[in-house]
Amino acid sequence: MKRFAVILLLCIGCVTPQVTVTPDEKPAKDAGPLRITLVATNDQHGWVMGQVEKFGASEIRAGGSAVMAAYLKILRGNNFGGVVLLDAGDLFQGTLAANLSEGAAVIDAMNALSYDVAAIGNHEFDYGPVGPVSVATQPNVDPFGALKARIAQAKFPLLSANIYEEASGRRPAWLPGDGLLMIERKGIKIGIFGLTTPQTPVTTVPVNVATLRFSPLAPEALTAAKQLREKGADIVIGVVHAGGKCAKWDNPDDTSSCDEKTGEVFDMMRGLPPGTLDGVVAGHTHGVIAHNINGTPVTETYGLGRFFSTIELFIDPVTRKVIPSKTVMTPLIPLCETVDQESGSCDPRVLRGKANVVAVQASFMGQPIVPDEKVTALLSPALQQVAKLQNESLGLSVPKTLGRDYENESGLGSFLADSLRGVEKADIALMNPGGLRADLKAGDVTYGAVYEVLPFDNAISTLKLTGDELMRLLTAAYGSRKGVFQASGIEVKLSRCPTADRLKTVTLEGGKPLDLSKQYRVVMPDFLARGGDGLAPILSTIEPDQVDLGENRELNLRDALVDFWKKKKEPFASPRSGRVSFLQDGDKCSPGTKLDGQTGSP
């Protein structure tokens, strides 16, 4: 189902050119405490290329590996020999460049940037076997084939200490090492371990990880830290594909705006004795964290190749321990190639309301940002092949931008659900909001734009459910903390706060009551039909002959929608709202009852 995967596999990842990003000169030796700079990225999702926003005659350019290289050169020059480059996982899945090469283009870029380590994220399992099929449905197909290829290609370790074989309880033979790494900077021995969210079986295609077990985070972190200390580590850093969210990050000691009750990284840190770790790079939730949690600095960013963060650790040269009072966290540093002259920003959310945007070269730490030519040249062949598909016009238009909303009914979600229902002429359509990865901007519709919205190679699945079975499925969906599912053919009333019993009422379109004994035809991505986003317990009670996973369909969900739209030849318009409404049932939700981040996936 990875329609074009083989094209780039022939030319990317076979040989990685020797391109590294290093400072030109060695500055004078630091005095006083030893400074270690942790440079952290997370949830890149294939965004190795830059992104361009037009504001009148001006172009604001941001993100991408060549721009990241420019920032790294400045950081490494500022702290020669003291920079550690880390990624908290979800390297793949989200762009044509990543998906058509099964992640090879991403690893090429990360090799060039000289990453020290990356955690294994849930989306690292999305590609399944090597080749065009992304789901390991046959016993002779290796579900880890694509990931194994990327591990072999990478010049840095992909780590996870909490992945085990379900049957044997041992570490998988294909996963090198024990999930731990020892490196040295400025004579300081730095122990690093990786962890993968235990949510992985419900946030990637479940069948691809059916033979694996993902152990709880806190016990594994404690064991890893102990082992690294025993090996002589002066400081220990966790690179963890599990995160949380905070609404404010101006005070690192104030976590009152954070999802402390439900965020995985908060839960992990609560389970560790203070001082177990010296720093944590988090990911998975696309939220912002820059806080001291249980005495340990933890950072996370929005990701998508647009941001990074830093943790500056100062180590006493005699005791070789971190001096906590000197630690400095800098969250959410934007990767700007150009900025608006007046505001100094490259953030489209800041600039969209401005009457006049004038683009000028960005700078960082007093130095101009110049995209690295070697990294640009390295990625050029892949991006040139992608460009043809990216710019392929579908002959359709979007009069007004269709946007996502993870926590509410959205114009884009309703439009896609209506379209999916139309493809199958079904009674009801259901889509998980985490599967919608970009807004559909106003203007001409290109294949690349649709791909960015729907990057997952899902099949179309149909289920025959009685009204009672449908009610149980919808109760699980809306109570799963995976956002507000987008629907067509039904109208739902929800509690404002996300709880297990969030779903209050369901009616058919127009308010007609649901007949609990009648059978309805329901269409959804196969990720959901296979039990993703918390639906497995309910689907396990449904007879197999009621479920068609769509494995033998010629077109995947994305391409079937494109074919449907081309035949209709109508502009894309947001449907009338009102299919999701909320009961005014009390005070605002506390930070501990906020929705999970956009981790849902295929």
pLDDT, tens digit (0-9, with 9 covering 90-100), for 333-383: 999 999 999 999 999 889 988 889 999 999 999 999 999 999 999 999 999
HSE at residue 590, side-chain half, CA atoms within 13 A, is: 8
Residue 409 lies in a domain: yes
Residue 445 lies in a domain: yes
Whether residues 306 and 413 share a domain: the answer is: no
Structure tokens at 274: 């203070």
User: DSSP label at 271?
Assistant: T
Residue 600 lies in a domain: no
What's the domain count of the chain?
2
- What is residue 584's predicted lDDT score, i.e. its pLDDT? 77
* Sign of torsion over alpha carbons 396, 398, 404, 405: negative
Q: Is the confidence at residue 42, as pLDDT, over 60?
A: yes
Residues in the chain: 602
User: DSSP label at 482?
Assistant: S
- What is residue 552's predicted lDDT score, i.e. its pLDDT? 83
CATH (domain of 254) = 3.60.21.10
- What is residue 355's predicted lDDT score, i.e. its pLDDT? 86
Whether residues 80 and 120 share a domain: the answer is: yes
Whether residues 431 and 354 share a domain: the answer is: no
- What's the mean pLDDT when you consider all of the chain? 90
Name which residue leads in pLDDT, 158 or 448: 158
Mean pLDDT over 424-451 rounds to 94
Whether residues 357 and 434 share a domain: the answer is: no
Confidence band of 419 (pLDDT split at 50, 70, 90): very high
Name which of 415, 336, 327 is nearest 368 in CA terms. Answer: 336
The last residue of one of the domains, among 324, 349, 378, is 378
Most confident of 16-25, 312-321, 437-446: 312-321
pTM of the prediction?
A: 0.84
Q: Is the confidence at residue 281, as pLDDT, over 60?
A: yes
Q: Is the confidence at residue 599, as pLDDT, over 60?
A: no
Q: Is the confidence at residue 602, as pLDDT, over 50?
A: no
Confidence band of 22 (pLDDT split at 50, 70, 90): very low
CATH (domain of 474) = 3.90.780.10
- Residues above pLDDT 70, as percent of the chain: 92
Produce one character per residue of 456-468: b if its CB has 16 or more CB atoms within 10 Å, e if not: bbbbbbbbbbbbe
The last residue of one of the domains, among 345, 378, 411, is 378
Confidence band of 588 (pLDDT split at 50, 70, 90): low
- What is residue 9's predicted lDDT score, i.e. its pLDDT? 36
Q: Give the ranges where 27-134 is alpha helix by DSSP (H).
A: 65-78, 96-99, 104-112
Whether residues 297 and 338 share a domain: the answer is: yes
Whether residues 131 and 204 share a domain: the answer is: yes
Domain containing 319 equals 5-27+42-378
The Cα–Cα gap between 166 and 117 comes to: 26
Helix (H) or strand (E) holding 472: helix 467-478
Residue 542 lies in a domain: yes
Residues 6+ apart with CB under 8 A from 181: 116, 117, 157, 159, 191, 192, 193
The last residue of one of the domains, among 335, 351, 378, is 378
Whether residues 373 and 451 share a domain: the answer is: no
- What is residue 554's predicted lDDT score, i.e. its pLDDT? 86
Residue 232 lies in a domain: yes
Mean pLDDT over 511-536 rounds to 93
- What is residue 590's predicted lDDT score, i.e. its pLDDT? 54
Residue 458 lies in a domain: yes
Whether residues 312 and 368 share a domain: the answer is: yes
Confidence band of 5 (pLDDT split at 50, 70, 90): very low
Q: Give the ranges where 288-410 is alpha helix by DSSP (H).
A: 348-351, 373-390
Q: Is the confidence at residue 185, as pLDDT, over 60?
A: yes
The Cα–Cα gap between 63 and 393 comes to: 25
The Cα–Cα gap between 581 and 115 comes to: 46
Whether residues 370 and 400 share a domain: the answer is: no
Residue 387 lies in a domain: no
Whose tokens are 């037009």? That residue is 54
Whether residues 323 and 399 share a domain: the answer is: no
Whether residues 261 and 340 share a domain: the answer is: yes
Whether residues 352 and 427 share a domain: the answer is: no
User: How do strand 580-583 and strand 503-508 relate by DSSP bridges?
Assistant: unpaired
Residue 33 lies in a domain: no
